[in-house]
Amino acid sequence: MKLNKAKRHQVKLRIGLSGASGFGKTYSALLLAYGMTNDWSKIAIIDTENNSASLYSHLGDFNVLVLTEPFQPERYIKAIETCEEAGMEVIIIDSITHEWSGKGGCLEIHERLGGRFLDWAKVSPRHQAFIDKILNSKCHIITSVRRKTDYSMDADMNGKTRVVKHGTKEETRTGFEYELTVNFELINDKHLASASKDRTGLFMNKPEFIVNSATGRRLLEWCNEGISLEAIEKEITECETIEGLKKLYDKYPSYKKETHSLIMDRKKQLDSLNQQVIPNKEIVQSKTN
């Protein structure tokens, strides 16, 4: 157990978009992703919304993985892994609602097991594995979540009343938004958004705005202010002593999982070099004697 100085290392973004149907979640997600990559070919969208991503093919040559029912957590995990293996930089999951309440999703799995409280002991680990895959992915991930729809009668500036659609509760397991870097709530069909959760401090308590590629660029700039994994890997490969490797391992605790194998490989190289140096020293000593 050891205390370390607080540092914001370079991170992968976990962004949420929630809103009622028709509020622009897919479109906003694609613009966000483009702002983060500036390369449509590095964007993949896992589409569970009946090929809705194809409606925006005019934006650019992004990649689409159509995910159909049953929407078990494991199929989502496999879809994410497929995108990772293809070298994507940003993965859009549109939407994660089906993993929870869709055909074959967690609620249906629970019901098939009997619907008892104790049956969650079998379902919750499967859902958590899906959440963990999102959190631990090497890609930036944008998730969209449906909100249950409600309607109200609102008066406009001229005093005329009209029916307005609202999004209410998110249709996924409670607490998901707390895992995210930023969670944008799309509040109406004009695509206006506000931040309901914001670890960056860029959007919280700010006026409502339209999510676009500039939003993605701001998030990426915030993300890149930290220490990059590439810079840490460079330090490891250039390290000349075993003691130095130990210090690097302790210096970046949040990257221990990613750097462990590289540190071990570098240690083997240094051990091999040290074994070669010792015999050479003995030869020199014997000659001088």
Segment 40-66 shows an average pLDDT of 93
Distance CA 203, CA 69 (A): 35
Q: What phi-psi label fits residue 152: left (phi over 0), alpha (psi between -120 and 50 degrees) or beta?
A: beta
pLDDT at site 157: 56
| Residue 147 DSSP code | E
Distance CA 25, CA 143 (A): 9
Give 55-106 pLDDT, tens digit per residue: 899 999 999 999 999 999 999 999 999 999 999 999 999 989 999 999 999 9
Higher confidence at residue 157 or residue 107?
107
The two tokens of residue 75 are 């199929």
The two tokens of residue 105 are 């999703």
Number of residues in the chain: 289
Please give the C-alpha separations between residue 188 and each of 125, 171, 227, in angstroms, as whole numbers.
Answer: 35, 17, 37
The strand pair at 90-94 and 161-170 is best described as: unpaired
My answer on whether omega of the bond before 70 falls inside 30° of 0, hence cis, is yes
Give 145-181 pLDDT, tens digit per residue: 987 654 444 555 566 655 444 445 677 888 888 889 9
Using DSSP, state whether 187 is helix, strand or coil.
Answer: coil
Sequence-separated (6 or more) residues with CB below 8 Å from residue 139: 12, 83, 84, 88, 89, 90, 91
* Whether 232 contacts 245, CB under 8 Å: no
pTM: 0.73
My answer on whether omega of the bond before 196 falls inside 30° of 0, hence cis, is no
* Whether 45 contacts 61, CB under 8 Å: no
Three-state DSSP string of 4-68: CCCCCCCCCCEEEEEECCCCCHHHHHHHHHHHHHCCHHHEEEEECCCCHHHHHHHHCCCEEEECC
pLDDT at site 253: 67
Tokens 């909100």 belong to: 147
Tokens 């030869």 belong to: 283
